[in-house]
Amino acid sequence: MQDHNQAFTIGDQFYLHDKQFKIISGAIHYYRVVPEYWQDRLEKLKALGCNTVETYVPWNMHEPREGEYHFAGMYDIRAFIQTAGKLGLYVILRPSPYICAEWEFGGLPFWLLRDGDMKLRFSYQPYLDKIDRYYERLFAEFRDMQIADGGPIILMQVENEYGGYANDKAYLHALAELMTKHGANVPLVTSDGPWHDLLDNGSIQEAALPTINCGSNIKEHFARLKRFHGQDRPLMVMEFWIGWFDAWGDGKHHTRDADSAAQELADILEEGSVNIYMFHGGTNFGFTSGANYYEKLAPDTTSYDYDALLTESGDITPKYQAFQQVIARYTELPEVKLSTDIRKKAYGEVEVKEKVSLFSVENRLAQPVESPYPLTMEALNQPFGYVLYKMNLGKNRLIEDFRLIQCTDRAHVYVNGNHLFTKDDLEMEGKETFELTEPENELSILVENMGRVNYSVKMNSQHKGIKGGVIVNGAFQSGWSQYSLSLDNLDKLDFSKPFRSGTPAFYRFELEIEETGDTFLDFTGWGKGVAFVNGFNLGRFWEIGPQTRLYVPAPLLKQGMNEVILFETEGKAGESIAFMDTSGLGN
Ligand code: GLA
């Protein structure tokens, strides 16, 4: 059963260079942490007593547009693996390519949806062909960093919790074969919830070791996994959930008690191996946060703090210490000197310096695309952000029946720049009535993509913007102009143009500092939108919380003058923002 030619193997246990090996791993997603802090987070992982780091690989960030690859900066996966290797940590990679992870569209690229027949996560050949091309480029990044070549990578995962989505075994086998074709030579695993049919649906025992994801009742779940294996195989919790994520509108930040989690960890280590999910959650910068959809859309917050062992800003928590005590029973804790000097700063309040309405600058931010019917974000080849739709509504009259058909996720409707109403999700298709009083009437609809779902049966229908159309007095309307607002070109803004309160607008601030430090942008008093620091998209803010501050890591700041811009969509603006030295999450 055990192949001794390999450096890391799976037999009745995991074996590293022929010795039994207990994987004690923690999850850090490199793309949720600025690269300047990778070493710090990995050193803290090592100091905890872990021997391995685990990360998912987000296809949508590495191939943001079909055939265009991105492996620099925060997406430099090779540098991340190298940093881990230098610290003596092993690496588990999950290039799944679906990753869930509260990440925009579960890591799948938006452009997959440009194929109207797309069948995600099935053995649909055009989908597999795109994975094949992506893997060819992706695996070039780390093919030579597997343990057989002396590198740190010891395991790779096929798909992710596939058994909770479907049961197309041919697809799982095709993925495993693609991984092998592109050079994976470490053992493969699958991971699934230990419930119902999930293990059955999601496992390909001939090709990959089944592991489980759970947060409690470890003994019971391991017993089930053992029965499922049907022979002596190592037991591993690939995701030991030690906290949880937050969605906008959740009453409070999710936390999990340190002692109960540490007890479960002890149960896992007694019998098997673990990957702590998350060791360090980090941040959903930019438009990278995903969403869930059960009864309604539940978009995730920008913070991915997760009540993990390190806070969002990398601080050691009491839960870290509780876990360290358990891990110390299995390994000698190494002496680790932290090499990155990180300080917190409270820079205080900064007032709005300049402001301009979106409706004064849309032509600077985007070239309008004309079409007889409204185009979705995907048809516009736009990954994330907002689309501004405009059309001429004609003469003054009563509009008795106005409806937005298949419009996602949140729409603000204006006539001649006056706000009429805002709708989201379930309210979207409800009928509206209003009076047009001017001889000419321009309709503007600003539609926000709040994050494509990363989990649920709705994966195949994650088109954003207006898909069906707009009904005015019983008829679909034609003659549209679309402005793609990805907000990656804010240097084009002209703040000398008019501002009108109550409309979506950009607000500019200047933050002058002597010393850079980690800080938290407090957006109390502001409605909803996105924040930028020196052109970097920090992520979304929303007054409904539970998050009230956005984490600004020091490497995004510079000594001297820093430019901060808020794009606010509800017409709810404060006079100032503040920079604090705590997250406001209470941990
Ligand atoms: C599952 C997924 C992860 C993540 C967690 C919840 O286990 O596999 O990617 O979404 O749920 O945080």
Q: What is the CA radius of gyration of the chain?
A: 25
Q: Ligand 1 in contact with 159 (CB < 6 A)? A: no
Would you state the pLDDT for residue 196?
Answer: 78
- 403 and 300 in a common domain: no
Task: Give dist(CA 78, CA 142) in Å, integer.
Answer: 6
For the chain, what is the domain count?
3
- 323 and 394 in a common domain: no
- 168 and 80 in a common domain: yes
Residue nearest to atom 10 of ligand 1 (CA): 101
Q: What is the position in ligand 1's atom list of the atom closest to the CA of 213?
A: 7
Distances (CA, A) of 564 to 350, 354, 489, 531: 10, 11, 14, 7
Q: Name the residue of 57, 121, 161, 189 whose CB sits within 8 Å of the most ligand 1 atoms, as the mutation to test its pocket.
A: 161
Q: Has residue 339 been placed in a domain? A: no
Q: What is the position in ligand 1's atom list of the atom closest to the CA of 99?
A: 9
Residue nearest to atom 5 of ligand 1 (CA): 101
Task: Give dist(CA 168, CA 146) in Å, integer.
Answer: 29
Residue nearest to atom 3 of ligand 1 (CA): 101
Cα 277 to ligand 1 centroid, rounded to whole Å = 8
Task: Give dist(CA 525, CA 534) in Å, integer.
Answer: 22
Question: What is the residue type of 551?
Answer: Y
Q: Ligand 1 in contact with 568 (CB < 6 A)? A: no
- 29 and 164 in a common domain: yes
Would you state the pLDDT for residue 468?
Answer: 97
Would you state the pLDDT for residue 1?
Answer: 40
Q: Has residue 367 been placed in a domain? A: no
Q: What is the position in ligand 1's atom list of the atom closest to the CA of 193?
A: 7
Distances (CA, A) of 461 to 33, 118, 348: 30, 10, 43
Domain that holds residue 458: 373-478
- 103 and 41 in a common domain: yes
Last residue of a domain, one of 478, 508, 525: 478
Active site residue 349: no
Q: Are 50 and 27 in contact (CB under 8 A)?
A: no
Q: Has residue 86 been placed in a domain? A: yes
Domain containing residue 190: CATH number: 3.20.20.80
Q: Which residues of the chain have pLDDT under 50?
A: 1-4
Q: Ligand 1 in contact with 162 (CB < 6 A)? A: no
Q: Are 208 and 176 in contact (CB under 8 A)?
A: yes
Computed from CA positions of residues 491, 493, 494, 499, in that sequence, does the dihedral angle turn out positive or negative? negative
Would you state the pLDDT for residue 456?
Answer: 86
Active site residue 351: no
Q: Has residue 484 been placed in a domain? A: no
Tokens of 29: 């997603």
Among candidate residues 43, 63, 141, 161, the one labeled active-site is 161
**13 DSSP 8-state letter:** S
Distances (CA, A) of 7 to 19, 81, 150, 177, 233: 10, 18, 9, 21, 18
**What is the total residue count of the chain?**
587
Would you state the pLDDT for residue 587?
Answer: 57
Tokens of 252: 């409070």
Q: Ligand 1 in contact with 213 (CB < 6 A)? A: yes
Q: Ligand 1 in contact with 101 (CB < 6 A)? A: yes
What's the whole-model pTM score? 0.97
Would you state the pLDDT for residue 64?
Answer: 98
Task: Give dist(CA 36, CA 555) in Å, integer.
Answer: 7
Q: Ligand 1 in contact with 289 (CB < 6 A)? A: no
Would you state the pLDDT for residue 586?
Answer: 75
Q: Has residue 493 been placed in a domain? A: no
Q: Has residue 272 been placed in a domain? A: yes
Q: Ligand 1 in contact with 160 (CB < 6 A)? A: yes
Contacts of 346 (CB under 8 A, 6+ apart): 519, 579, 580, 581
Residue nearest to atom 4 of ligand 1 (CA): 101
Domain containing residue 541: CATH number: 2.60.120.260
Residue nearest to atom 6 of ligand 1 (CA): 101
Q: What is the position in ligand 1's atom list of the atom closest to the CA of 56?
A: 9
**518 DSSP 8-state letter:** B
- 502 and 474 in a common domain: no
Q: Name the residue of 56, 59, 100 whose CB sits within 8 Å of the most ligand 1 atoms, as the mutation to test its pocket.
A: 100
Q: What is the position in ligand 1's atom list of the atom closest to the CA of 455?
A: 10
Tokens of 104: 């925009």
Q: Are 537 and 487 in contact (CB under 8 A)?
A: yes
Q: Ligand 1 in contact with 239 (CB < 6 A)? A: yes
Tokens of 312: 């969002």
Angle at the Cα of 489 from the Cα atoms of 388 and 357, rounded to 5 degrees: 50
- 220 and 131 in a common domain: yes
Tokens of 506: 């950009």
Last residue of a domain, one of 420, 445, 478: 478
Q: Has residue 287 been placed in a domain? A: yes
Residue spans of beta strands (DSSP E) within 138-187: 153-157
Would you state the pLDDT for residue 5?
Answer: 52
Contacts of 93 (CB under 8 A, 6+ apart): 54, 55, 57, 81, 142, 153, 155, 156, 157
Closest Cα partner for 211 from 147, 150, 145, 277?
Answer: 277
In which residue are the tokens 């996720």 written? 409
